[in-house]
């Protein structure tokens, strides 16, 4: 069976979830693809962490070149998070002829043109499904089966951490601080959860969606963004008394030749489908001029749902390069 060698940059929550997804489903993946996918090298400093996967000390390295310059590695998975050194590593990997998969919305949103350009220039594949909506295959949907449409609107809940916090406050009366701690403990939050609660993570994801759906580059810093840090239990109780919930909503909508966009906490009436999207789940409404309205729903954060999306991209690339 043909072997595809993979280098993994970062084995934190998502790196571990990705490794575990492959470990859990290796036999099935091999049977479906006829390929043996192997993560041969892992760039990671924290070797002591309990990960509940089978990994040997020889797989770990602290030297990026062991992956980025390794002639036998076909695909690099970048799961370091943050804009740098992640972007530089991805560009180097592409320059060295490696295909790249990432879940890093901050790096993709900040350097979309550079990364896409480098992939084209080096004739490698670059995929980032896990960067938006965790396990929901929204980027694939927008760029493949829905491609016959002109998109009119994208609206949704794109951050698991804040949706979890708002759910816990509304349904369990939990404090904001306790709910955030619980989201962190479950591996939903970013390393610095400021990006989640201030709405920047959603702005990154919306910027990526706008690029793919509307063909327009709107840097995340240009998206009007408000997070949930100002929301009090009183606001949540008022929303409930008014027959609804507060949700952190991202919106991009055609308005004539213009595009309107923004991220902000929004009142959602209880009879609206987005009101039923709770915990770390995300949901994305898409309106296309042929298909009409669609809604995508699933876990938007967490090691295994995100690992599922990362491995989906890896498998697609492994198949494409083995044809």
Binding-site ranges for ligand HSE (CB under 6 A): 134, 159-161, 188-190, 196, 201, 300-301
Task: Say if CB 188 and CB 299 are below 8 A apart.
Answer: no
Rounded CA separation 286/154 (Å):
5
Min dist. Cβ of residue 248 to ligand HSE (A): 10
- Distance (Å) of CA 29 to CA 59, 175, 245: 21, 42, 41
In the bound complex, what is the minimum distance in angstroms from residue 300's beta carbon to ligand HSE?
A: 5
Distance CA 274, CA 134 (A): 17
Q: Which of 205, 245, 247, 299 is catalytic?
A: 205
Nearer to ligand HSE, 44 or 129 (CB): 129
Residue 89 near residue 79, CB atoms below 8 Å: no
Provide, rounded to whole angstroms, the least separation between the CB of residue 160 and ligand HSE: 4
Does the annotation mark 20 as catalytic? no
Q: Which is nearer to ligand HSE, 29 or 136 (CB)?
A: 136
Which residue lies nearer to ligand HSE by CB, 40 or 131? 131
Taking the complex as a whole, the smallest distance from the CB of residue 86 to ligand HSE amounts, in Å, to: 14
Contact 10, 80 (CB under 8 A): yes
CB closest to ligand HSE, residue no = 161
Considering the complex, state which of residue 87 and residue 204 has its C-beta at the smaller distance from ligand HSE: 204
**Residue 9: CB minimum distance to ligand HSE, A:** 17
Contact yes or no for 48/13 (Cβ under 8 A): no
How far apart CA 34 and CA 3 sit, in angstroms, is 9
> Minimal CA–CA distance to 300: which of 308, 289, 292?
308
Give Cα 204 distance to the centre of its chain: 10
The residues that are catalytic are: 205
């Amino acid at each position: 069976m043909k072997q595809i060698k993979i280098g993994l940059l970062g084995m934190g929550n998502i790196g571990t979830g990705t490794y575990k997804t492959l470990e859990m489903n290796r036999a099935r993946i091999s049977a479906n693809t006829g390929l043996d996918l192997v993560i041969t090298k892992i760039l990671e400093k924290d070797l002591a962490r309990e990960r509940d996967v089978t990994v040997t000390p020889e797989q770990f390295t602290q030297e990026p070149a062991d992956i980025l310059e390794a002639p036998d590695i076909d695909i690099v998975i970048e799961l370091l998070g943050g804009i740098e050194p992640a972007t530089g590593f991805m560009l180097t990997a592409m320059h060295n002829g490696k295909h790249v998969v990432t879940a890093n919305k901050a790096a993709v949103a900040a350097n979309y043109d550079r990364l896409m350009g480098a992939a084209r220039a080096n004739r490698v594949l670059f995929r980032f499904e896990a960067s938006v909506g965790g396990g929901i295959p929204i980027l694939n949907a927008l760029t493949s089966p829905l491609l016959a449409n002109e998109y009119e609107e994208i609206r949704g809940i794109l951050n698991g951490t804040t949706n979890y916090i708002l759910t816990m406050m509304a349904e369990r009366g939990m404090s904001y601080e306790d709910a955030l701690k619980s989201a962190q403990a479950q591996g939903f939050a970013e390393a610095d959860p400021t990006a989640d609660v201030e709405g920047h993570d959603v702005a990154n994801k919306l910027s990526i969606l706008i690029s793919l759906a509307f063909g327009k580059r709107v840097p995340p810093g240009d998206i009007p963004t408000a997070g949930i840090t100002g929301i009090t239990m009183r606001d949540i109780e008022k929303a409930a008394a008014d027959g609804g919930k507060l949700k952190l909503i991202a919106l991009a909508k055609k308005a004539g030749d213009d595009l309107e966009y923004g991220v902000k906490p929004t009142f959602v009436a209880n009879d609206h489908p987005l009101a039923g999207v709770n915990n770390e789940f995300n949901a994305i409404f898409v309106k296309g001029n042929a298909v009409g309205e669609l809604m995508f729903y699933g876990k938007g954060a967490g090691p295994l749902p995100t690992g599922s999306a990362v491995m989906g991209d890896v498998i697609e690339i492994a198949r494409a390069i083995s044809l």
